[in-house]
Amino acid sequence: MMTPLERVNRLLGDLRLARVDFDTLFAGRNSLTPLESVELFLQDQQRQRTLKQDLLRRKRAGLPAEKTLDSFDFGFQRSVSKEQMLRLSDMTWVEQAFNVCFLGPPGVGKTHLALSLALRGLDLGYAVAFETLESLMTILKTAEISNAGKRRLQFLHKAALVVVDEVGFMPLSPAEANLFFGFISAMSEKTSLIITSNKGFDEWADFLGDATITTAILDRLIHRCEIINMSGDSYRIVHHQSIIN
């Protein structure tokens, strides 16, 4: 014969509700009315569901690391100010499908700042996705033949904010450049993009291989866009650490 707790846990399972540590939840609350007890129980269910959804969004985002503005060395990297980034971190631009582009040589903090905005978006409840250009190309090329690629592309289209990192590090074939154009076009004025690139826009035709496609991509990307040009030495090289001191 089942105990009352076992029967309750079975009911919770049937209703797809989270299990509850009732002893902890109701500790010191013996004076609650039945209605207040139900309210407390439902509040706990809501809390657990929100936490589960938050963990799922963070997993789906695929951020390679969690970076914050507080951990960014604005004293070393002076081509962008903390005030600029704090204004962007209100994330109101996501509602308007604006884009942000970080341009500059390797090691100046482009990805760190992109990740800090992506993390802020997650904290505010937005659906966020992170891809390098290389991984994005794999998704776009396999979406019609791979269930995993198809599901990821569907998620990218539904996300409020998509980060595309390392644009320009590798040249694209003509077919890949067309796929990239198709992706940017599909996102235009619907989904916010954060792009990091080691090349200025005047150099994009070099790795895209086609001036016409480059113009079409940039026309859609920078129409509603905050462009942040970064410069300086590589933080990683200047602050390298040796195994043997």
Q: How do residues 154-210 score in pLDDT, each as one tens digit?
A: 999 999 999 999 999 999 999 999 999 999 999 999 999 999 999 999 999 999 999
3-state class (DSSP) for residue 128: strand
Reduced to 3 states (helix: H, G, I; strand: E, B; else coil), residue 73 is: coil
Q: Annotate 197-210 with b (16+ C-beta within 10 A) or e (fewer).
A: bbbebeebbebbee
- pLDDT band at 53; cut points 50, 70, 90: confident
Q: What is the pLDDT of residue 242?
A: 55
DSSP state of 93: H
Burial tier of 41 (Cβ tally within 10 Å: 0-12, 13-18, 19+) = middle
Phi–psi pair at 108, nearest 5 degrees: -95, 0
- Torsion angle defined by CA atoms of residues 161, 159, 133 and 168, in that order, rounded to the nearest 10 degrees: -30
Q: Looking at residue 240, what is its pLDDT?
A: 54
- Residue 134: which pLDDT band, with cuts at 50, 70 and 90? very high
